Amino acid sequence: MNRRVARSAHSRTAEPKISFQRTRAEHAQETAQDYVEMISELIAATGEARVTDLALRLGVTHVTVNRTIQRLRRNGLVTALPYRSIFLTDAGRTLAAESRRRHKIVSDFLKSLGVPETVAHVDAEGMEHHVSGETLAAFLRHLQREAPPVGGSAGKATRAGRSAQPAAAAPSRR
C-alpha cells in the first residue's frame, strides 16, 4: 500500500474515532448532569435530596445512587454525609442550571417544529447531553426568529418585517 492510500485510509478512520470519543465523554457528563439536575429539583420541591428519593425518581437502586454520589463528591459537585441529605456545591448548582437551560432550549426547539410538549420534554432529556454548542446556538437562532414580536400578539412578523396579519379591507369603490 502506498503512502497516499495509507494517509487517506487513516483520515477516514480518524473521524469515527473522534466522534466515538466525543460520545463517550458526553455519556460520562450525562449522568452527572442528570443527577445534579434532579438533586436541584428535589431541594427546590422538598428542601432536601435523599438517596432514596433519587433512586425512586431516576429508576435505579440506592447502591447505584450512592456510587454516583461518591463520584460527584470527588468531582466537587455535591456534598453529602452518610445517611444525610445531599446538597449541591456552587459548581453543582452551576451545572444543574446549565443542564436545565440546555433542556429548555432543545425542548422549545422541538415544540417549535410541532412536536407535542410531552414528547418534546422526553426527547429533550436524551438530546440535551449530546447537542454541540454550535447546534444549540442554531436552535436558539431558530427560536428567536420564531418568537412573537415584543409588545403584544399583534401578528407574527414575516421575514420581510411586515405583519403576517391581513390588512384592514379598503373601502370599495362603486
The whole-chain average pLDDT of the chain stands at 80
Residue-wise pLDDT for 141-169, tens only, equals 999 987 766 655 444 443 333 333 333 44
Rounded Cα distance, 84 and 81, in Å: 5
- Digit-coded pLDDT (tens) for 49-79: 999 999 999 999 999 999 999 999 999 999 9
Task: Give me the phi and psi of 78, to 5 degrees please.
Answer: -140, 160
- Which of 23-27, 113-117, 149-153 shows the lowest mean pLDDT across its residues? 149-153
Indicate the pTM of the whole model. Answer: 0.68
Domains of the chain are 3-146 (1.10.10.10)
